[in-house]
Amino acid sequence: MKKRETFGSRLGFILVSAGCAVGLGNVWKFPYICGQYGGAAFILVYLLFLLILGLPILMCEFAIGRNSRKGISNAFDELQPKGEKWHTFKWAGMAGNYLLMMFYTMVGGWMLYYVYLSATGKLMKLDTDGVTKCFEQMLQQPETMIFWTILVVLISFGICAFGLEGGVERISKIIMTMLLLLMLVLAVHSLVLKGAGEGVRFYLIPDFTRIQKNGVGKMVFAAMSHAFFTLGLGVGSMEIFSSYLDKKNTLLGEAGNIVIVDTLVALTAGFIIIPACFSFGIEPNSGPPLLFITLPNVFNSMEGGRIWGIMFFLFMSFAAISTIVAVYENILSFYMDGLKWKRQKAIGLNIVLLVLLSLPAILGYNVLSHIQILGEGTNLMDLEDFLVSYNILPLGCLIFVTFCTHKNGWGWEQFYKEVNIGEGKKLPACLRVYMSYILPLIIMGIYLKGYYDYFADSKKYTIGVRAAWMGFAVVLLLLTLGIIYGTFTKKGKAKKK
């Protein structure tokens, strides 16, 4: 049997895993909601939820991967008790990886395109309306988006083609190092701009009037939700890399390092964006408009803006590609572990698959813009994002946690033993009740509240539509719980390794 690949160094594992966790949400969402919900007060609540939500779930993924030495395609088969049905969840996990890449790869193409526009000076020649039209025109040109999407697919699978240590680890080290250096330079530049101090105060100083305006409950749930989603948990994208990890260090320490890097990137992104927007009197917003409309206008207003624009979109390209490479590696593991394919064969098939699967999101902005399944003003990318973010990710996290803590799954004893192997801080045994019962309830609450908030707009959705979608959410949850807890009827012992 061919020996499984392993990371060449601990740093390689940390940077590759952090590259998967560090995504676009760290940049186009975190700084905005941080400022919106009271600055430093929000950050403190957010960090608390990272510790009690993100960290435990990440340890579950890491423990399953390291013990099974398999990706999500075979991990449950390897560890589940005889006769159980946990392995059926691998199909949802793989669907989540493909669905995520169906639109995330396209957005990665947007980043590279804007590097090109910045480098050629085409953005610098535009006024505020021109910058807006440039982004809108790109969305109406499927051939442009297809070209840059294909380029991202080829670059990302090209990195994967060199294997784990020679490709994914080596290139991720370079990408993440450049990403962090670019962030540092951009943040320092933003902080020395005239008027940047007002932005820093908006970003960091606790403002309880903003908390009261938006509601304490909304602030707490926003912090909880972002802490839950920021690490990209639930589809095995983190689990795959722990399957290549040695057992020299405890998983509490390894998971903690990933959380720290992800948090530092999110906080630093705020120092890049918020002070610059305040310096030039531009209202900071979130999502694609922030990156492709607001910030190009900021760069056009500053001295040396062309250089800063190139550096910013290079940084964003690195952030996107680091995540894409990580998820592609998880997809490839499905074929290499499950079907015993060679890496090159799996890459060849998936280059074609990912290009074709990216077309609906691309065409959803133009040719297929009339398809608005989630309501007026939505598109196919919104649908794909909804299926991943509001369904597969939270339910996937519920599955990982219950598998690690319940007797009909792998079980707390095996999980606790695996987490604490190696040097470093140990997971306290007293957390068993919290992780076994309270954490799953919190995850289910986030899942149902997420649905409720998504369809809460009474002007956009009728009562009947909202009730139908909430009913759909409940059915999915009950189906998941049925598979999880229905297996109690067949008793077996988790496999030990």
Q: How many angstroms separate the CA atoms of 156 and 328, rounded?
A: 8
What does the alpha-carbon distance between residue 485 and residue 402 come to, in Å, rounded to a whole number? 9
Helix (H, G, I), strand (E, B), or coil: what is residue 460?
Answer: coil
pLDDT, tens digit only, all 497 positions of the chain: 456 778 888 888 888 888 888 777 777 778 878 877 877 788 888 899 999 999 999 999 999 999 999 988 889 999 998 888 898 898 988 999 999 999 999 999 999 999 999 999 998 888 888 998 999 999 999 999 999 999 999 999 999 999 888 888 888 888 888 888 888 888 898 898 888 888 888 888 877 777 777 777 888 888 888 887 788 888 888 899 899 999 999 999 999 999 998 888 888 888 888 888 888 777 766 667 878 888 888 888 788 889 988 988 998 898 889 889 989 998 998 999 888 899 999 999 999 999 999 999 999 999 999 999 998 889 999 999 999 989 999 999 999 999 999 988 999 999 999 999 999 999 999 999 999 999 999 999 999 998 998 898 878 899 999 999 999 999 999 999 998 887 444 555 556 55
End-to-end CA distance of the chain: 18
* Residue 132, amino acid: T
Question: Could you tell me which of 372, 399, 364, 384 has the C-alpha nearest to residue 485?
Answer: 399
Tokens of 138: 């790109």
DSSP 319-343: HHHHHHHHHHHHHHHIIIIIS---H
Q: Are the CB atoms for 393 and 97 separated by under 8 Å?
A: no
| DSSP 8-state symbol, 2 | P
Can you tell me the distance from the alpha carbon of 171 to that of 278, in angstroms, rounded to the nearest whole number? 35
Cα gap 194→280, rounded to integer Å = 9
Q: What phi, psi does 492 have (nearest 5°)?
A: -155, 175
The pLDDT score that the predictor gives to residue 1 is 45
Nearest to 324 by CA among 20, 51, 50: 20
Distance CA 458, CA 466 (A): 9
Residue 37 · residue 218 · CB < 8 Å: yes
CB atoms within 10 A of CB 16: 27
- Per-residue model confidence (pLDDT) at position 128: 80
Asked whether the whole model's pTM tops 0.85, one would answer yes
Give the span between the Cα atoms of 437 and 341, in whole angstroms.
39
Structure tokens at 335: 């074929």
pLDDT at residue 489, as a whole number: 45
Neighbour-count burial of 77, counting CB atoms closer than 10 A to its CB (0-12 exposed, 13-18 middle, 19+ buried): middle
The predicted structure's pLDDT at residue 160: 93
Phi, psi (deg, nearest 5) at residue 423: -85, 150
Type of residue numbered 16: V
